[in-house]
Amino acid sequence: MASSAQHPQPRRAGIVGASGYTGAELLRLLDSHPEISVEVITADSQAGSRLDEVHPWLAPLGNRELVPTTPDAVDGLDVVFCGLPHEASIELVPQIMDRVGHVVDLSAGFRFKDPAVYPRWYGFTHAHPELLDVAVYGLSEMNRDALVDARLIATPGCYVTAAVLALAPLVSGGHVADTGIIVDAASGVTGAGRRAEISYAFTTVDEDLTAYGVAGHRHTPEIEMGVGGRVLFTPHLAPMNRGILATCYAQPLTDGARTTDGLLDALATRYAGERFIQVSDAMPHTKACLGSNLVQITARYDERTDTAIVISALDNLTKGASGGALQAANIALGLDESAGLSRIGVAP
C-alpha cells in the first residue's frame, strides 16, 4: 500500500449529487479528513443553490455554490464520490473514469458482475456492462485487498452492510447453513434518500412501523451475494431519521454454533482487529451508532427452535453509505483507513 508521505498535498475530491443525504454526509465526514480536500460539489435540480441553503447544518463549510453535474466539473480530481440514482451513475461514470483518479459510486449501478441482475431486480438494462468487471465491491472488511488502488469502487447498500457483516463469517466458516436464512431489518427514513413523497412525510412515518418490498426487495440479490447463501429479506421503515437494526436467523451446523458463546467467538475471531466492528454480548442499538462508522454485532442461540440469531446495528448514512464509501476510498488511495471516520456515536 502506498504511503501517504508520497503525497504531501491533500487529495482533491469531488462530490457528485451533493444535494442528497449521502452527499451531505460525505461533506460532514470529509471536513475532518486530514488528507482529502473537497474541491467540487455538484447537483442537478439544486445547481446554483448555496450549500448552506440546501443543508443548513453544513453552514460552517461556507456559502459554496453547487455547480451542475458535468464531466468537465470533476476533471483532474483524485477521487470522485457519486451520490446519484443508479441509472444516472451508470451514465456518468464511464464519462469520468479516464478524467479522474478514482470513482466511488454509492448507487447499485456497479455492484454486480452479472448484468442480468439489473432488469430482474432494478427494472432496467445496464448500459455499460463492460464496467461491471472493472468495479471493486467496496465492503472494506470483506474485500480490503482488492480495494487497494481500485479505480472504480461500488459501495454496498446499507441493509446489505448490516446483514453481510452479521452473517457472512458464520456462513463461510461452515457454522450455519447457507439456505433458509432470514433477515428482518428496520431502517430510518433517510434510507429512502431525500424525497418529497407523502409516504416519507413526518405525519406518515411518525408513530408508525411498516414492512415494504416484501418477498422481492431489490437488496435481496446483493445480500445473497455477500452472505453466500439463500436469504429471505424483509425490510421495515422505522420512525427515526437514521439507523438500521438487522435481526438475522440461520440454521446452526456445528456444536459451536449451538451455543451463544460459540457464535460470539466465531464472530469475534473473524473481526479481531477491525476498528469499526464491535462484537459483544450486549444488544446493539441504532442510537449508539448514530453518526459513527461503527457496526455493533451480537448473537444468541435459541435451543428451543435450534436457531442461530445474529443482530447488527449501524448508521445507514455513515457505515451504510457515505462512511463505508470513505473507508473504501481511503484504502484505494493508500491513506489511513480510518481517516475522517469515528467509531463513537452521538448521544443522547
In this predicted model, what pLDDT tens digit does every residue of 120-149 receive, in sequence order? 999 999 999 999 999 999 999 999 999 999
If asked whether residues 87 and 162 sit together in one domain, one would say: no
Q: How far apart are the first and last CA of the chain?
A: 38
Q: Which pLDDT score is estimated for 207?
A: 86
If asked whether residues 202 and 312 sit together in one domain, one would say: yes
C-alpha cell at 269: 475471531
| Calpha distance 153→2 (Å, rounded) | 18
Is the per-residue pLDDT at 7 higher than 60?
A: no
- How many distinct structural domains can be found in the chain? 2
C-alpha cell at 104: 466511488
Is residue 342 a part of any domain in this protein?
no
If asked whether residues 326 and 312 sit together in one domain, one would say: no
Segments forming the whole domain that contains residue 83? 4-156+320-333
Return the residue matching grid coordinates 413523497.
197
Q: How far is CA 290 from CA 222, 236, 323, 343, 346, in A?
A: 24, 18, 12, 10, 5
If asked whether residues 311 and 329 sit together in one domain, one would say: no
| Calpha distance 235→214 (Å, rounded) | 7
| Calpha distance 119→12 (Å, rounded) | 35
Residues 38-66, mean pLDDT to the nearest whole number: 92
Is the per-residue pLDDT at 29 higher than 60?
A: yes
Q: Which pLDDT score is estimated for 305?
A: 98
247-299 pLDDT, tens per residue? 999 999 999 999 999 999 999 999 999 999 999 999 999 999 999 999 999 99
Residues 18-46, mean pLDDT to the nearest whole number: 95
Is the per-residue pLDDT at 63 higher than 60?
A: yes
If asked whether residues 175 and 152 sit together in one domain, one would say: no
pLDDT, averaged across the chain: 94
Is residue 211 a part of any domain in this protein?
yes
If asked whether residues 163 and 304 sit together in one domain, one would say: yes
Q: Which pLDDT score is estimated for 6?
A: 54
Confidence of residue 195 (pLDDT cuts 50, 70, 90): low
If asked whether residues 80 and 164 sit together in one domain, one would say: no
| Calpha distance 22→307 (Å, rounded) | 36
Is residue 343 a part of any domain in this protein?
no
Residues 102-114, mean pLDDT to the nearest whole number: 98
Is residue 37 a part of any domain in this protein?
yes
Is residue 127 a part of any domain in this protein?
yes
If asked whether residues 74 and 109 sit together in one domain, one would say: yes
Catalytic residue among 82, 158, 248, 289: 158
Residues 59-63, mean pLDDT to the nearest whole number: 89
Is residue 340 a part of any domain in this protein?
no
Helices 158-172 and 220-227: crossing angle, nearest 10°?
A: 30
Is the per-residue pLDDT at 214 higher than 50?
A: yes
CATH number of the domain encompassing residue 182? 3.30.360.10
Is residue 297 a part of any domain in this protein?
yes
pTM of the prediction?
0.94
Q: Report H helices in the chain.
A: 21-30, 51-54, 86-96, 117, 140-147, 158-172, 202-205, 220-227, 260-270, 323-333
Q: Which pLDDT score is estimated for 191?
A: 79
Share of the chain above pLDDT 70, in %: 97
216-244 pLDDT, tens per residue? 999 999 999 999 999 999 999 999 999 99
| Calpha distance 265→280 (Å, rounded) | 9
If asked whether residues 143 and 163 sit together in one domain, one would say: no
Is residue 346 a part of any domain in this protein?
no
Share of the chain above pLDDT 90, in %: 89
If asked whether residues 51 and 150 sit together in one domain, one would say: yes
Q: Which pLDDT score is estimated for 1?
A: 41
If asked whether residues 117 and 236 sit together in one domain, one would say: no
If asked whether residues 309 and 326 sit together in one domain, one would say: no
Strand partners, 40: 14
Residues 294-315, mean pLDDT to the nearest whole number: 98
CATH number of the domain encompassing residue 44? 3.40.50.720
Q: Which pLDDT score is estimated for 264?
A: 98
- Is 289 an active-site residue? no
